[in-house]
Amino acid sequence: MPMLEIKNAELSIDDKKILKGLSLNVNEGETHAIMGPNGSGKSTLSYMLAGRDGYELDNGSITFNNIDLIPLSPDERSNLGLFLAFQYPVELPGVSSTNFLREIFNSRKKYLGEDELTHLDFIKHLRKVAQNLSIKDEMLKRYVNYGFSGGEKKRFEILQMALLNPKISVLDETDSGLDVDALKIVSEGVNNLKDKKNAVIVITHYQRLLDYIKPDIVHIMSDGKIIKSGDADLALYIEKNGYSEILNEQN
Amino acid sequence: MVATTETINQVKTSTDRYKYGFSTEIEVDKAPKGLNEDIIRFISQKKDEPKWMLDWRLEAFKKWKKMEKPNWAKVSFPDIDFQDIYYYAAPKAKKKLNSLDEVDPELLKTYEKLGIPLNEQKMLAGVAVDAVFDSVSVATTFREKLSEVGVIFCPISEAIKNHPYLVKKYIGSVVPVTDNYYTALNSAVFTDGSFVYIPKGVKCPMELSTYFRINEKNTGQFERTLIIVEDEGYVSYLEGCTAPQRDENQLHAAVVELVALNRSQIKYSTVQNWYPGDETGKGGIYNFVTKRGKCLGDNSKISWTQVETGSAITWKYPSCILMGNNSVGEFYSVAITNNAQQADTGTKMIHIGKNTKSTIISKGISAGKSQNTYRGQVQIQKGASNARNFTQCDSLLIGNTCSAHTVPYINQHVSNAKVEHEATTSKISEDQLFYCMQRGLDAEQATSMIVNGFCKEVMKELPMEFAVEAQKLIGISLEGSVG
Ligand SMILES: Nc1ncnc2c1ncn2[C@@H]1O[C@H](COP(=O)(O)OP(=O)(O)OP(=O)(O)O)[C@@H](O)[C@H]1O
Ligand SMILES: [Mg+2]
């Protein structure tokens, strides 16, 4: 029984079909990579998984640990352990990063029936986690994503992932905007969180991320469907040759 | 200051439903209905007032009778029959509750949500707490500490008797009796309120709040507050911490006057959380308040900070008269309306002295079918050379059935003055909601988080413990506003 099972997902936005019968199984402990040309529907897939308003399926099913996700709201899905690192993280002006992080951290603890941390204990914990991702204290005093550089935003996403310790994480182009050093730090951060019980789906355009986060399975997505899956070598092949040959094979 | 037949009835019927009230516990000692000279004499006599005070009241009453109700605000409500109101209603001793078990569980739930510590919960709910938390001794130590430095903080009725010179000199000096219909009415019938006097050079050693005052003595429905700060003095005054107001179903009917002398500072913070009525607009408090501060001395400063979440109708414009040269007026406001609430609120900054400066930051949040209007006036009078004003009005809409209005009036009679006005209206963004919810916050937590962020500039002006409370209150008042 896969941890995440997407069967034949169809989804349209404004009457335009974006996902056209997409299926994907992810098991505990696995790392998947999804690659594919711009506009093929990768971010749409991630929003659909997270339960964003307007991204309801026309057809198909999604289950997570055997639970039907379709009727669940974004926060309920998050509570089950689903995390999405946004391709474009959203700014929350006026909302202090530290407060935001404490709120989401304690709300997760509460859901899990664990003790919430006191302010002081949380700050200690946060400092440690942030340090591992080379995030400076100064950044945590700022408003959530507000005026963050592209790379800072991506790091902040992974910081949240580390705090929430999700069961399945979808990282949507987390590598874009990261400098060489940051790419390494962030990837290590993701790898450190990885264990046999959780799973990661990385959406990326580039092999350089996959040099650090080694995928078990690579999928090629085009025009709303997964058209080919393979091992890590498939990504290397794409890096060298582009998509055209695989796309042609399809037609 | 106004009680309508309608409101009295609404309040009465809603008493059963208003989960925060327990007015059935309170026995009331009241004068007959209606308003005439005899009633005013009755009030004055009950308060054991000197003759000059009674004369002042009677004079106000005479003027009030000739005045017209204002109708320029963007609020609508049934006409008011002033002869169908009780003008004097003092609570007799409350029935003493012996433990929290006797308190309405709904009320406790609210306190809990507000994060009010247990001992305070007991105190607020009127439970005898002598053993655990001696409210009397708290009030006493606090009084002693103040009198050591010469600060006077007492009910205004007491001040009229004990400090007549001060009251006589300043009452009505900031808000004239005939300023508007409601101030005239208030002047005739006010029953209680606070009096604060900060002597020369004294920085008040603690924040003064009605919280203590209310527990000392229940305030009446026509409140009158007078705060005077002498040269170089400073005071921070907190009005109506949310919880004690919850337990009263009376109308808010206040006149607040602040006087700041040379180089002195007054910071006045309000968190208003009266009963707003139900989702359909039935019931709720009419909150018609006149608040004004006068920067009489040079280099003086008055700041108003308000968080308005309650009341069916709010009609309120805390203002500053900047008379002294280099004086500063500030107004920071958050007004939240949900369901059928109507708020028409804002400020007036009257620049008279040279180099006077004012700042207005107003954040309006509307949800449900509510109406939220900002009305602000900036007046730069002749002689106010170099005056500066900066106004920023931001409105946030939640849903499609509410509305926000911004009505700025600017009168400028000086060429080298500078008046800046910025206004924005935005909707709470789907992106932001989704982002927060993806992290596990439910729709209400997420909204409250975003709204608190939107109000940040104002919230940071509130004293610490007040800010925490206000933050939670914002969450509570927006309940049910998002799907
Ligand atoms: N809200 C929307 N309204 C209209 N079209 C949309 C909307 N959201 C997505 N689309 C369209 O859906 C298609 C898939 O978009 P999506 O963002 O999922 O692509 P992607 O694979 O993530 O691309 P990229 O690699 O550039 O990030 C695109 O053609 C896009 O224009
Ligand atoms: Mg994308």
| ipTM score for this prediction | 0.96
- The 3-state DSSP class for residue A11 equals strand
Tell me what pLDDT residue B322 has.
Answer: 97
Tell me what pLDDT residue B462 has.
Answer: 82
Tell me what pLDDT residue B311 has.
Answer: 67
Residue B256: which domain range? Answer: 2-477
Residue A137 lies in a domain: no
- Residue B324: CB atoms within 10 Å: 25
Residue B21 lies in a domain: yes
Which residues of A lie closer than 8 Å to B, measured between beta carbons? 50, 52-53, 73-75, 77-79, 83-84, 86, 89-90, 92-95, 100, 103-104, 107-108, 111, 143, 160, 164
Residue B74 lies in a domain: yes
Q: The dihedral of CA A90, A92, A98, A103: what is its sign?
A: negative
Residue A97 lies in a domain: no
Residue B183 lies in a domain: yes
Site to probe by mutation for ligand 1, drawn from A20, A42, A203 as the one with most ligand atoms within 8 Å of Cβ, is A42
Name which of A77, A102, A104, A110 to mutate to probe chain B: the one with the most chain B Cβ atoms within 10 A of its Cβ. A104
Residue of chain A minimizing CA distance to B432: A90
Q: How many domains does chain A have?
A: 1
Contacts of A53 in chain B (CB under 8 A): 430, 434
Tell me what pLDDT residue A26 has.
Answer: 96
Residue A168: which domain range? Answer: 4-89+148-250
Per-residue pLDDT of chain B (483 residues; tens, 9 = 90+): 222 233 333 333 333 333 333 233 334 456 677 788 988 998 898 888 999 999 999 999 999 999 887 776 666 666 666 776 667 665 454 455 556 666 666 556 655 555 555 555 555 554 433 322 333 444 555 777 888 999 998 888 889 999 999 999 999 999 999 998 889 999 998 877 889 999 999 999 888 876 544 433 344 467 899 999 999 999 998 886 443 343 334 456 789 999 999 999 999 998 877 666 666 656 666 777 899 999 999 999 999 998 887 666 777 889 999 999 999 999 999 888 877 777 788 899 999 999 999 999 999 888 888 888 888 899 999 999 999 999 999 988 887 777 888 888 888 888 888 999 888 888 888 899 999 999 999 988 898 899 888 888 888 888 776 777 777 777 777 776 665
How many angstroms separate the CA atoms of A24 and A10, rounded?
A: 13
How many angstroms separate the CA atoms of B88 and A96, rounded?
A: 48
Residue B482 lies in a domain: no
Name which of A44, A77, A90 to mutate to probe chain B: the one with the most chain B Cβ atoms within 10 A of its Cβ. A90
Residue A210 lies in a domain: yes
Tell me what pLDDT residue B251 has.
Answer: 56
Tell me what pLDDT residue B206 has.
Answer: 81
Residue A67 lies in a domain: yes
**CB B437 to CB A83 under 8 A?**
no
Residue A201 lies in a domain: yes
Residue A31 lies in a domain: yes
| Phi, psi for B345 (deg, rounded to 5) | -145, 160
Contacts of A52 in chain B (CB under 8 A): 434
Measure CB to CB from residue A53 to each of B430, B439, B452 and give the nearest one. Answer: B430
Residue nearest to atom 24 of ligand 1 (CA): A38
pLDDT in tens, A51-87: 999 999 999 999 999 999 999 999 999 999 999 999 9
Residue of chain B minimizing CA distance to A54: B430
Residue A138 lies in a domain: no
Tell me what pLDDT residue B126 has.
Answer: 45
Asked whether the predicted pLDDT for residue A10 surpasses 90, the reply is: yes
**CB B432 to CB A92 under 8 A?**
yes
Q: How many domains does chain B have?
A: 1
Instruction: Specify the CATH number for the domain of residue A196.
Output: 3.40.50.300
Q: How far is CA B483 from CA B63, B391, B398, in A?
A: 50, 33, 11
pLDDT in tens, A19-59: 999 999 999 999 999 999 999 999 999 999 999 999 999 99
Q: How far is CA B126 from CA B102, B132, B146, B466, in A?
A: 10, 13, 25, 21
Site to probe by mutation for ligand 1, drawn from A43, A53, A154, A220 as the one with most ligand atoms within 8 Å of Cβ, is A43
Residue B194 lies in a domain: yes
CA of A40 to the centre of ligand 1 (A): 7
Residue B483 lies in a domain: no
Residue of chain A minimizing CA distance to B458: A94
**CB B438 to CB A74 under 8 A?**
yes
Tell me what pLDDT residue B36 has.
Answer: 86
Tell me what pLDDT residue B6 has.
Answer: 31
CA of B309 to the centre of ligand 1 (A): 40
